[in-house]
């Protein structure tokens, strides 16, 4: 692959490269989770803190994604889904990506530290686990999904910690909700991208195959997600509360996701896996919105 000078890349391509190397859509969804967690934990909403959390969160996730693409650049070149990413396509150099990731790491930790030290600590842990544990494990064991679910579950709880400067049962519950949710979400992705992932040697499915075992585990983790999501209605989770109406809405959303998990078990098709993935994205987004609305409306 020939080296490309970033200074010769058209402005439009530079913007496109930035969006791709930081995975803008994914990063924005993570920022959304953090902001939702903040609104749940805050007694009084500070728009200054919200702004810091949004930028700090984007910097941290963008850095993680950039480091990930640097490490996996040769594997990305093997897969249809990723071969046109900035580094394997030659539109961004490894050096430029590394500089961007490093700057984003420093900015992210600094901005989150301004909010409070605990928020910065959890943000730093997220980057470390994503790049140093999850990324290298993807080619070695399906347990990489378990490891990756840890940094993936931090954003929702990060917002609460940003609001309270405290880690207790409330952010722990938010963490567990997003933690369990990630298994059906990523196994659905691993299912419909299984052949492409195999080209790079990624082991994303729990059994390593698109079989009944994987489908059953997907259903089980969906059930666990639903259970955790309604726990706040029972009053066991401190200041994190959920009204009966809110719990019913959250439960119904979970049952919709469970329906698609069961459909995957019945049909065992790529289409069913893709539908489950879309349902899971809709689920986590709507659940976070319901949690926030339930707090401010009750």
Among residues 216, 294, 209, which one has the least CA distance to residue 258? 216
pLDDT band at 179 (very low <50, low <70, confident <90, very high): very high
**pLDDT at residue 232, as a whole number:** 96
Q: Which whole number is the average pLDDT over 235-264?
A: 96
**pLDDT at residue 3, as a whole number:** 47
Is pLDDT above 90 for 184?
yes
Q: Rounded CA gap, 210 and 15, in Å?
A: 37
Tokens of 274: 């893709």
Among residues 163, 159, 194, 166, which one has the least CA distance to residue 269? 194
Tokens of 125: 């842990």
**pLDDT tens for each residue of 52-74:** 999 999 999 999 999 999 999 99
Q: Rounded CA gap, 71 and 64, in Å?
A: 11
What letter would DSSP give residue 234? Answer: G
Check: CB of residue 207 under 8 Å from CB of residue 145.
no
Check: CB of residue 36 under 8 Å from CB of residue 155.
no
Mean pLDDT of the chain: 92
Among residues 193, 177, 186, 184, which one has the least CA distance to residue 78? 193
Q: What percentage of the chain has pLDDT greater than the value 90?
A: 80
Dihedral pair phi/psi, residue 78, rounded to 5°: -85, -20
Q: Which residue has the tokens 């926030």?
A: 292
Q: What percentage of the chain has pLDDT greater than the value 70?
A: 96
pLDDT band at 1 (very low <50, low <70, confident <90, very high): very low
Q: Rounded CA gap, 149 and 163, in Å?
A: 23
**pLDDT at residue 10, as a whole number:** 52
This prediction has a pTM of 0.89
Is pLDDT above 60 for 227?
yes
**pLDDT tens for each residue of 186-206:** 999 999 999 999 888 888 899
Is pLDDT above 70 for 7?
no
């Amino acid at each position: 692959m020939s080296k490309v000078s970033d200074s010769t890349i058209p402005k439009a391509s530079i913007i496109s490269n930035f969006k791709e190397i930081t995975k803008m859509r994914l990063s924005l969804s993570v920022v959304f989770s953090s902001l939702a967690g903040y609104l749940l934990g805050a007694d009084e909403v500070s728009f200054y803190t919200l702004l810091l959390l949004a930028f700090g969160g984007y910097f941290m996730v963008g850095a993680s994604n950039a480091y990930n693409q640097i490490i996996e650049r040769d594997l990305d070149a093997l897969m249809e889904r990723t071969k046109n990413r900035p580094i394997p396509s030659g539109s961004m150099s490894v050096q430029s990506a590394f500089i961007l990731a490093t700057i984003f790491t420093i900015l992210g930790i600094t901005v989150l530290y301004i909010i409070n030290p605990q928020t910065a600590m959890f943000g730093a842990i997220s980057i470390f686990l994503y790049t140093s544990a999850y990324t290298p494990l993807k080619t070695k064991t399906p347990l990489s999904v378990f490891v990756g679910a840890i940094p993936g579950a931090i954003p929702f709880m990060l917002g609460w910690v940003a609001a309270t400067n405290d880690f207790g049962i409330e952010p722990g519950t938010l963490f567990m909700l997003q933690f369990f949710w990630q298994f059906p979400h990523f196994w659905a992705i691993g299912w419909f991208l299984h052949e492409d992932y195999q080209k790079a040697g990624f082991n994303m499915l729990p059994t390593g195959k698109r079989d009944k075992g994987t489908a059953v585990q997907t259903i089980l983790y969906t059930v666990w997600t639903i259970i955790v999501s309604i726990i706040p209605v029972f009053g066991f989770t401190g200041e994190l509360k959920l009204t009966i109406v809110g719990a019913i809405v959250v439960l119904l959303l979970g049952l919709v996701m469970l329906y698609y998990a069961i459909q995957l078990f019945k049909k065992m098709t790529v289409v069913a896996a893709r539908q489950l993935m879309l349902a899971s994205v809709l689920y986590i987004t709507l659940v976070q919105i319901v949690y926030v609305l339930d707090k401010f409306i009750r």
